[in-house]
Amino acid sequence: MTRPPAARPLVMGVLNVTPDSFSDGGQWLDPDDAITHARTLVDLGADIVDVGGESTRPGAERVDLAEELDRTIPVVAALAEAGITVSIDTMRAAVASRAVEAGAAYINDVSGGLADPDMAAVAAAAGTDVILMHWRGHSRTMQERISYRDVTGEVVDELTQRAAEFINAGCAPERIVLDPGLGFAKTFAHNWHLIATLPALMALGHRVIVGTSRKGFLGAVGRPEGHPRPPTERDVATAVTSAYLADLGVWAVRVHDVRSTVDALDVSEAVREARRRAEAPDHGGGPQRDPKAWVDR
Ligand code: PMM
């Protein structure tokens, strides 16, 4: 079934080709399994598949460059060859560069260029869209860097500097996408606050993507302390945040479970469409009569 063009945020489906990511580690290490899973994500409505070869969960050790290339590049090449829009989730300029050669359309750098001084030049030369996420350090140390007086103001300022570095290196401003980096050197309260104040980041004028999927703050909400939902039981909570983010007008959401988020985005778009009709001056405020519309309860 072909879906109609999206009047909603794009859906970036997560494909971690790692043994140790927090919710899907080890599941897609075999390239054939990874490619099959990516096709499923696209069939379910993913617009972009984000291929990552390094876990960024708190405390994770870094993978070496050769291993990251081995994990990601064959998968990126196979997906691009199959006509799937691919993003490469990497902090390494060499991986980004090879992935773009293999057909990746987006560079997704969770460090916003801080982990590798060559990333801005590589992104400029590639001419692709580049996602710059708010980040304060590698996984081993990031939880020691959770210190903010004004988390929204500091995230906005730090991402403004990151975007400026990429623009100075030759990236077109419209190629830059910003991400508040939920769960990266943030407490659960910081994550909620950043979602609630997202319009401050959107006001910079760049497209915004947000990754809430299966993160710890969704596991804890509504649960007694010390009894969070496990990561794979956080997809309903993730979908609810996707609908809320759609209402704010984000460009994209990054999720593991594409089906539930696509459903949530379709429902939130239906509400916005009904709101637009209700507010249209020539319309009398009621629903439009369309003889072909489905009639059911
Ligand atoms: N989160 C993770 C990995 N990559 N990329 C972007 N742009 N935004 C995110 O929030 C983000 C990311 C961590 O989640 P995972 O280990 O399940 O992929």
Convert the pLDDT of each residue in 260-269 to its tens digit: 999 999 999 9
Closest CA to 200 of 253, 146, 155: 155
- How much is the pLDDT for 92? 98
> Which residues is 87 bridged to in the sheet?
50, 106
User: SS3 for 108?
Assistant: strand
pLDDT greater than 80 at residue 284: no
**What is residue 286's predicted lDDT score, i.e. its pLDDT?**
63
Please state, in angstroms and rounded to a whole number, the distance separating the CA atoms of residues 130 and 105.
Answer: 9
Nearest one of 66, 82, 80, 71 to 31, comparing CA atoms: 71
Mean pLDDT is lowest, of 61-75, 95-109, 136-150, for 136-150
pLDDT of residue 290: 63
Per cent of the chain over pLDDT 70 is 93
**Mean pLDDT lowest among 7-11, 106-110, 197-201, 247-251:** 7-11
Ligand 1 within 6 A of CB of 134: no
**Residue recorded with tokens 């990497």:** 90
Tell me what pLDDT residue 31 has: 82
pLDDT in tens, 220-246: 999 999 999 999 999 999 999 999 999
Q: Quickly state the pLDDT bin for 294 (edges 50, 70, 90).
A: low
- For residue 124, CA distances in Å to 42, 168, 180, 259 come to 28, 9, 22, 34
Cα separation, 240 vs 223, whole angstroms: 16
Kindly state if the Cβ of 259 falls inside 6 Å of ligand 1: no
Is 60 exceeded by the pLDDT of residue 5? no
Nearest to 155 by CA among 183, 180, 176: 180
CA distances from 208 to 50, 187, 198, 204, 283 (A): 16, 21, 9, 10, 33
Q: What pLDDT score does 292 carry? A: 62
- Mean pLDDT computed over 134-139: 91
Would you say residue 33 has pLDDT above 60? yes
Residue 2 has pLDDT above 60, yes or no: no
Contacts of 262 (CB under 8 A, 6+ apart): 11, 44, 45
Asked if residue 89 has its Cβ within 6 Å of ligand 1, the reply is yes
- Specify whether 215 is catalytic: yes
Q: Which of 215, 259, 272, 292 is catalytic?
A: 215
Q: DSSP state, 167?
A: H
Could you tell me the pTM of the whole model? 0.93
According to the model, what pLDDT value does residue 272 have? Answer: 93
- The angle at the Cα of 263, spanning 261 to 267, to the nearest 5 degrees, equals 115
**CATH numbers and ranges of domains, the chain:** 10-279 (3.20.20.20)
258 by Cβ neighbours in 10 Å (0-12 / 13-18 / 19+) ranks as: buried
Q: Residue 134 — pLDDT band, cuts 50, 70, 90?
A: very high
Q: What letter does residue 282 receive in the DSSP assignment?
A: G
Q: CA 156 to CA 148: how far, in whole Å?
A: 12
Residue of 178, 166, 248 whose CA lies nearest to 207: 178
Q: What is the pLDDT of residues 11-31, one digit of tens each?
A: 999 999 988 777 777 787 788
Q: What pLDDT, on the 0 to 100 scale, is given for residue 289? A: 60
Query: Which contiguous run of DSSP H or E holds residue 271?
Result: helix 258-279
Measured in Å, residue 95 CA sits from the centre of ligand 1 at: 17
Distance of CA 273 to the CA centre of its chain: 24
Read off the pLDDT of each residue in 172-182 and give the average, rounded to a whole number. 98
CA of 227 to the centre of ligand 1 (A): 23
Ligand 1 centre from 211 Cα, in Å?
6
